[in-house]
Amino acid sequence: MLGEGAQAPSALLTDLDGNGVPLEQVTSGGPVLLVFFKISCPVCQFALPYLERIRQNENIRILGISQNNAADTRHFLDSYRIHFPVLLDEAARGYPASNGFGISQVPSQFQLAPDGLITHAWAGWSKPDMESLAERAGMPVLHSGEIVPALRPG
């Protein structure tokens, strides 16, 4: 998995309508948080709603990258009430972005600077990383009294 200081790779993904979208087109002008996920992943099902809470503040751009097809991804987004933009990195296309980033587990998150350099990366659920991200976004991610695990591997 690419780490801090690495350059984000180029990849051609598709949007939910099947249009080709170069990854660098949507990440330019960053910073942006890329979140790679698979809809069948229990840790993704747990983590993405917390990212949606952070996204609501609009101080940080979040871009989901689904490893599933458009129909299944749409159903997942509706079911979990996820509203940040999502692109597809499908098996039929050889997972170009996932392979470019060296992903071996999901969820995997990469925070990119405006120049495309990775400033922070982590995999799975990390409460400290999520709280740090929320702090940079200017809002708490956890509600008062909410108990969540510190770590959950993907």
CATH at residue 112 = 3.40.30.10
Q: Is residue 11 part of a domain?
A: no
Query: Is residue 81 left, alpha or beta, with left meaning phi > 0 and alpha meaning psi from -120 to 50?
Result: left
Give the C-alpha separation, 71 to 35, whole Å. Answer: 19
Regions in the chain scoring below 50 on pLDDT: none
Q: Which residues contact 48 (CB under 8 A, 6 or more apart)?
A: 35, 37, 64, 80, 82, 107
Burial environment of residue 97 by CB neighbours within 10 A (0 to 12, 13 to 18, 19 or more): buried
Q: Is residue 50 part of a domain?
A: yes
pLDDT at residue 146, as a whole number? 67
Q: Is residue 39 part of a domain?
A: yes
Q: Is residue 49 part of a domain?
A: yes
Q: Is residue 143 part of a domain?
A: no
Domain range for 109 is 29-132
Q: DSSP assignment, residue 117?
A: B
User: CB atoms < 10 A from the CB of 80, how many?
Assistant: 15
Which residue bears the tokens 């995997």? 108
Q: Is the dihedral of CA 129, 132, 133, 134 positive or negative?
A: positive
How many domains are contained in the chain? 1
Q: Cα 18 from chain centroid?
A: 19
